[in-house]
């Protein structure tokens, strides 16, 4: 028995190892949030929706106004900038997929433990029956030398989006803004 184990160990040692310089191609497919947002932007810019916004500052001052498609596109660009599918960023994110019986959704959740990255979490909720996007939630955090900016981006398919931003300055002061944009309200 000792001889058999010795021979087996020698054979395992002689097996060629994979070259250290061989890189494995990344085949992980994240949900295409950017592509989805781009298709929503295209729909809004090619359909004659009435666009409006409600802006709230520090939970006190509220303003509402009509929004042009140009302004809508400018505001929606903030969602496109939250792209984690770039090859240099993708390895820092972990994907989890689960079924939520309470919301009848399939959720794709992307998160990172790296606090230096702006995008901390993305949740994409798909309708369980149609597999169409219901909501996208993106949470980002940007730390600068004089402040921390936490932004919550919410997108409801074919209806509206919300950008909720809280700023905490190093001197302890803080303020928040909320930009709600709607286009296909019933």
Domains identified in the chain, total number? 1
> What domain range is 34 assigned to?
30-182
The verdict on residue 20 lying in a domain is no
CA dist 38 and 27 (Å) reads 23
Terminus-to-terminus CA distance in the chain, angstroms? Answer: 79
How far apart, in whole angstroms, are the C-alpha atoms of residue 84 and residue 119? 7
Round the average pLDDT of the chain to a whole number and report it: 88
* Residue 185 banded pLDDT, cuts 50, 70, 90: confident
What is the Cα–Cα distance from 15 to 139, expressed in whole angstroms? Answer: 47
- Report yes or no on 74 lying in a domain: yes
* Structural domain includes residue 115: yes
| Paired strand residues for 136 | 124, 155
Q: Are 93 and 105 in contact (CB under 8 A)?
A: no
pLDDT digits (tens, 9 = 90+) for 93-112: 999 999 999 989 999 999 99
Model pLDDT, residue 137: 98
| Residue 72: inside a domain | yes
């Amino acid at each position: 028995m000792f001889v058999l184990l010795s021979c087996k160990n020698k054979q395992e040692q002689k097996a060629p190892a994979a070259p250290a310089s061989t890189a494995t191609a990344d085949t992980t497919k994240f949900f295409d949030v950017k592509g989805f947002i781009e298709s929503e932007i295209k729909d809004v810019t090619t359909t004659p929706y009435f666009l409006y916004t409600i802006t709230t500052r520090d939970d006190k001052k509220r303003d509402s106004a009509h929004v042009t498609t140009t302004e809508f596109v400018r505001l929606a660009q903030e969602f496109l900038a939250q792209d984690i599918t770039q090859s240099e960023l993708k390895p820092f994110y972990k994907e989890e997929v689960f079924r939520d019986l309470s919301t009848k959704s399939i959720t794709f959740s992307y998160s990172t433990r790296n606090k230096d990255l702006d995008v901390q979490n993305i949740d994409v909720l798909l309708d369980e029956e149609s597999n169409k996007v219901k909501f996208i939630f993106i949470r980002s955090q940007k730390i600068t030398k004089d402040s921390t900016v936490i932004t919550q981006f919410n997108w409801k398919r074919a209806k509206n989006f919300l950008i909720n931003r809280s700023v905490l300055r190093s001197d302890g002061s803080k303020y928040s803004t909320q930009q709600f944009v709607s286009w296909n309200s019933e």
